[in-house]
Amino acid sequence: MDNPKVKVQASPKFGMGLFAVRAIEPGEEIASFDGELYSWTTADEHLPNDPPLYVEDHAIPIGEWSARDSAGFARVANHSCDPNCGIRDFVRIVAMRPVAAGEEITWDYDMAQDDGIWDMLCRCGSPICRGRVAGYRFLPPDRREAYRGFVSAWLLEHERPFAGRAIDVLGPVHHLCGSGRIAGEQPGTDGYRPKGS
């Protein structure tokens, strides 16, 4: 359920985003990916249940081959390499620390994805920005420690050794995520439509 202390508005950095309108306590749920379920396979890109590209970019992975979109505003929450929220269970965005009124709600997309395909150039502006976000395997040990309790359950089902920083391993060249969005650079609506519109 969408937390009433949070609203969707234009983000100075990311297009649309979620913002706290009142202070939020650590552990409070912000929103959840409670919408349509998708699955796909690399064997055939044209299976009827393959997600449209725009969905791939907004749904949260909940397993090796499946993802879930949100009915509410969870899909609008932007990535940060130094986020104030994380993922509980599989689909819930939950505050990791106190969030002040006016602050943008962010989570680290590598808390939920590791398919070896999806990646994203990041310009979140954090001093610890990783530059390229490409999956949990590229999440450094200190970040994994900082995110303890806030990583999607499917990523913890087996060990995923640190493969090095994505920017070092894969280089600065990137392929854009589904909508062609670059975090921190390209404005857009993120496909979000308020209920009833």
Taking CB under 5 A as the binding criterion, the range among 13-21, 53-61, 121-129, 161-169 that sits at the site for Zn ion is: 121-129
Q: Does position 95 bind Zn ion by CB under 5 A?
A: no
Regarding 120 and contact with Zn ion (CB under 5 A), the answer is no
In this complex, which beta carbon is closest to Zn ion, that of residue 4 or of residue 171?
A: 171
Q: Does 122 help bind Zn ion (rule: CB under 5 A)?
A: yes
Between CA 12 and CA 49 the distance in angstroms is 35
Residue selected from 16, 85, 99, 124 as contacting Zn ion according to rule CB under 5 A: 124
End-to-end Cα, the chain, rounded Å: 19
Quick one: which of 124, 134, 6, 139 has its CA closest to 73? 6
Give dist(CA 107, CA 86) in Å, integer: 5
Number of residues assigned to the chain: 197
Q: Does residue 167 touch Zn ion according to CB under 5 A?
A: no
Helix (H) or strand (E) run with residue 143 in it: helix 141-146
Do 131 and 32 contact (CB within 8 A), yes or no?
Answer: no
Q: How far is the CB of 167 from Zn ion (least distance, A)?
A: 10
Residue whose tokens read 């009433």: 4
To the nearest whole angstrom, how small is the minimum distance from the Cβ of residue 122 to Zn ion?
Answer: 3
Report the residue number, 16 or 183, with the smaller CB distance to Zn ion.
183
CB of 108 to Zn ion, least distance (A): 8
* Binding region for Zn ion (CB under 5 A): 81, 122, 124, 129
